[in-house]
Structure 1
Amino acid sequence: MTFEEYLSNMKPGYTVDGGSEENQVMHELSQRALKITIELNNKYHTKEEIVQLMSELTGQKIDESFVMFPPFYTDCGRNIHIGKNVFINAGCKF
């Protein structure tokens, strides 16, 4: 199952059964997000490194105007879309 197929299945009221293909994708996305946010939150990063890590987390190119003060938390990341001139303050959870 692709990420796009997973998102199209995640409609309001949809139940994810344990052990299902959707559950496996959800788990993989969560583990990926944990790995990236642990890197982001547990040592100093330059602005450029933060933009790169958030691009990796979201699967999209993040504009250079983006600014964030970690720590930052999310359980997925791939469903986040960040535009230009966005600022995320410390301690946010998406």
Structure 2
Amino acid sequence: MTSIEYKKGGTDFDQINQIVQHTNKLISKLNFGYHDNESVLKILSEVVGYEIDSSNEINLPFSSDYGPNIKLGKNIFINRNCMFVDLGGVTLEDDVLIGPGVKLISVNHPIDPKKRHNVITDPVLIRKNAWVGANAIILPGVTVGENSIVGAGSIVTKDVPDNSVVVGNPAKIIKEI
């Protein structure tokens, strides 16, 4: 996916809101009551629109504001209290680890105050075998490289190269792996 701007009040917004309402029902079903991992993956498969691989483990609660633009590979672990803002696309490749409280954000708003209620989407990509630490925030358009680590609490505003460790706000490379 590439960057797209959706205008508030446009027909696209109506279609998006219909999907959001459907996703909200499923996420509510997911997060209230006990579900084993098989049930979690089944409900999330309804949210994303394809069968999520059984090798994935997702701890609840989990949140998404849209749903169908989440793409999950295999052998992924997503810990508790994560939020995927996925209208612009959120992709996790195989073997990714997502710590508790992580936010993956693929939506922003224009700087122009007259357009501020529009949304601009830009995909987030977490490459194979990356680890995003607890409470990290990955902002729109960011790719976290293969085997890389995002330190807990970091805010990632720019792409992270393969085999790197980044920490801080904004996140900076502190080490190569």
Q: TM tier, shorter chain?
A: 0.7 to 0.9
Distance 1:58 1:13, change over 3 A: closer
* Distance (Å, rounded) in 1 between the aligned partners of 2:72 and 2:22: 18
Distance 1:85 1:27, change over 3 A: same
* Distance (Å, rounded) in 1 between the aligned partners of 2:23 and 2:54: 21
Match of 1:16 in 2: 7
Q: Which ranges of structure 2 fall in alignment gaps of 5 or more residues?
A: 85-177
- Alpha-carbon distance, 1:17 to partner: 2.9
Q: Considering fraction of residues, name the structure with more helix.
A: 1
TM-score normalised according to structure 2 size: 0.45
* Distance (Å, rounded) in 2 between the aligned partners of 1:13 and 1:22: 11
- Max Rg structure: 2
- Alpha-carbon distance, 1:32 to partner: 1.1
Distance 1:13 1:63, change over 3 A: closer
Match of 1:85 in 2: 75
SS in 1 for 2:29: helix
Q: Work out which structure has the larger RCO, using CA pairs closer than 8 Å and 6 or more positions apart in sequence.
A: 1
Amino acid aligned to 1:92: C
Match of 1:3 in 2: none
Amino acid aligned to 2:31: N
Distance 1:47 1:15, change over 3 A: closer
- Alpha-carbon distance, 1:15 to partner: 3.4
Match of 2:52 in 1: 62
Q: Give structure 1 regions of 4+ aligned residues with deviation exceeding 4 angstroms.
A: none
SS in 1 for 2:74: coil
- Alpha-carbon distance, 1:13 to partner: 5.2
Distance 1:12 1:70, change over 3 A: same
Distance 1:52 1:13, change over 3 A: closer
TM-score normalised according to structure 1 size: 0.82
Amino acid aligned to 1:12: S
Q: Considering fraction of residues, name the structure with more strand.
A: 2
RMSD across aligned C-alpha pairs, in angstroms?
1.4
Aligned to 2:30, which of 21, 40, 45? 40
- Alpha-carbon distance, 1:12 to partner: 2.6
- Aligned identity (percent) is 33
